[in-house]
Amino acid sequence: MSSASLSISMLTLGFLAYHYVISSKKLRTAFARCMGQDQGIAGWIYFQRFWGFLLYGVVPLLVFRARGYSISDLGVRFQSGHETMLWTTVLGAAVVVMNYFVGRTASNLAMYPQIRMKSWPGRVVVASAFTWVFYLLAYEFMFRGWLLFTCLEVMGPELAIVVNVSLYALVHLPKGFNEAVGAIPLGVLLCWLTLQTGTFWIAFLVHSIMALSNEWFSMYYTRKQGV
């Protein structure tokens, strides 16, 4: 099996395994029973993110290391620092402004923040931020790391981006049609920047800024509107 075929297979199986587990009502109830209602809600979300970190980051890394790949082969390179910071600053500012307005919409507040609590203690805000970052590190390592670079080996840049963005849009469908469509231009841009710089750090940093700013704005608007 080629590395590109292996990547697509691992993404598919990882996505199915992730949603099979997080769809378990029994497991979710167990968190609430063991930790209490509010802490159980937070703990369940933390678990989902670490489960994704394992499936999308740790397991594929071990598989590709066993096949002789280095982390630099998979897009984890420390280079193009100035370009990375420039693009991260520009795109990060853009997504913060976007989330300021999008965060208050009914469709966004129906999904975010993922942790639904009457009040957010500081420790929950910090823990949620850290678990988001861990999850997105693995998530972007998957899309703009091992999937993109292994496909690039056999497909060339254009087809590698098409495959990447197609899968990226499809995995967003559980979050709604709008997010799936919105993932297409964002995915193309992040793939292009990754190939230009040779590393996935811009994609990871921008996605983290997007997720955290959306969570914090959603928290604010949820409390303000009493959602």
Instruction: Tell me the pLDDT tens digit for each residue of 127-165.
Output: 999 999 999 999 999 999 999 999 999 999 999 999 999
One-letter amino acid for residue 197 of the chain: T
pLDDT classification of 226: cutoffs 50, 70, 90: low
Domain boundaries, the chain: 3-225
DSSP codes of every residue in 121-133: -HHHHHHHHHHHH
One-letter amino acid for residue 73 of the chain: D
Mean pLDDT of the chain: 94
pLDDT given for residue 200 in this prediction: 97
- CA count, 13 A, side-chain hemisphere, 79: 11
The residue among 38 and 47 whose pLDDT is bigger is: 47
Instruction: Tell me the pLDDT tens digit for each residue of 190-225.
Output: 999 999 999 999 999 999 999 999 999 999 998 776
Q: Which long-range contacts (CB under 8 A, 24 or more apart) does 121-127 make?
A: 124/42, 125/216, 125/219, 127/42, 127/46
pLDDT classification of 36: cutoffs 50, 70, 90: confident
